[in-house]
Amino acid sequence: MEFSQLRTLIHVAELGSLSKAADRLHIAQPALSRQIRLLEEELGARLFDRHGRGMIITDPGQDVLRHALRVMSELEEIRASVSDGDAPLRGHVSIGLPPTVADILSEPLVAAFRSSHPDATLRIVSAYSGYLLDWMHRSEIDAAILYDPKSARTLRAQPLLEEVLFLIGPPGAGLSQDVPVNFRDLEGQRLLLPSHGHGLRAILDKCADDCGFALRVPVEADSYATLKSLVRSGHGSTILPLAPIHKDLATGQLCAAPLRNPVPMRRLVMSYPTDRPVPRLARFAGQVIASNVKLMVEQGVWPGRLPAAATEAASR
């Protein structure tokens, strides 16, 4: 087994095509095909299903891919450990982001990698915290932003933000960011929210329970894009952070008001696994994320409180 075979496996799995991988790696396609074949022969398993439109990685191939990503990451760490600290890094890193966060931070994260580490490959995985936590434990992603992670013993958590949630309504709903709404006033209102089991919904249900009533939720949707679309169309109101709808507010497609008594909040943390070394590219991603969160809070784009640890991390 050779490093070149593992590198080929990673690129073919990502692109789903030998020809595309050959173009990316500047290696003849027959040579890449031979590397995959030799790897399959050595492991005694079929790693890809071939078809007319490309190659699909098999379940055994997915298992091998997880190990290959870790091996190549460790190889890059060896190179980086003896290189100039400011030299551009190579290698692959996977960062998990919740959907609302991915809408905000994907572009500055990609821009930072393109500027500082142009030869590195970045994979952004957008999913809810439960999925991201599971994938990080299975070594499928290197780091993730999580909301209130429960498995603290298996994670090294860097606080980023205590995020404030707002009542979001359609144009003309009369909501103003200067006029808070008492949470108790939501009783009986038609709300469009994520389903039970979703972290945001759990926070809101607890706030309502503390006020002595149950939220009226005739429609549940776990997609933030769906929630925004339904609210814009006048089907009800929702409760979300402001950052992912900042442009909608600026263009008048939505309106928002802060909530109080109580103020619904959730804690956002940059999380790394404790059972393996953190790749330098993952640490770089964490620094970029922390600095952008701090900047957006200072600009008023992302309402919330910065923990002291987040301010220190962003300044490093």
Which tokens in the block code for residue 225?
Answer: 């894009």
Residue 286, pLDDT above cutoff 70? yes
Domain around 244: 163-266
Q: What rounded mean pLDDT belongs to the chain?
A: 88
Compute the average pLDDT of residues 121-141: 87
The residue that leads in pLDDT, 315 or 65, is 65
Percent of the chain with pLDDT over 90: 55
Residue linked to tokens 């006029």:
179
Cα–Cα distance measured from residue 143 to residue 137, given in angstroms and rounded to the nearest whole number: 10
The residue that leads in pLDDT, 187 or 224, is 187
Residue spans of alpha helices (H) in the chain: 3-15, 18-25, 29-43, 59-81, 99-116, 129-137, 199-211, 224-232, 246-250, 280-299, 308-315
Nearest residue to 104 via CA among 170, 161, 177, 167 = 161
Say which CATH number the domain at 58 has.
1.10.10.10
Cα–Cα distance measured from residue 147 to residue 211, given in angstroms and rounded to the nearest whole number: 23
Residue 37 counted as domain residue: yes
Residue 23 counted as domain residue: yes
Do residues 220 and 299 lie in contact, with contact meaning Cβ atoms separated by under 8 Å? no
* Total domains in the fold of the chain: 2
Which of 59, 85, 111 lies at the terminal end of a domain, its last residue? 85
Residue 107 counted as domain residue: no
Residue 123, pLDDT above cutoff 90? yes
Residue 145 counted as domain residue: no
Burial of 202 (0-12, 13-18, 19+ CB in 10 A): middle
Q: Give the lowest-confidence range in 8-17, 33-42, 147-156.
A: 147-156
Residue 305 counted as domain residue: no
Do residues 89 and 265 lie in contact, with contact meaning Cβ atoms separated by under 8 Å? no
Q: Give the lowest-confidence range in 16-20, 129-133, 156-160.
A: 129-133
Looking at residue 150, its pLDDT comes to: 60
Which of 266, 283, 303 lies at the terminal end of a domain, its last residue? 266
Looking at residue 84, its pLDDT comes to: 58
Say which CATH number the domain at 205 has.
3.40.190.10
Cα–Cα distance measured from residue 235 to residue 308, given in angstroms and rounded to the nearest whole number: 40
Residue 250 counted as domain residue: yes
- Say which DSSP state 195 is in: P
Which of 85, 112, 137 lies at the terminal end of a domain, its last residue? 85
Looking at residue 85, its pLDDT comes to: 58
Residue 140 counted as domain residue: no
Residue 227, pLDDT above cutoff 80? yes
Residues 81 and 172 in one domain: no
Residue 28 counted as domain residue: yes
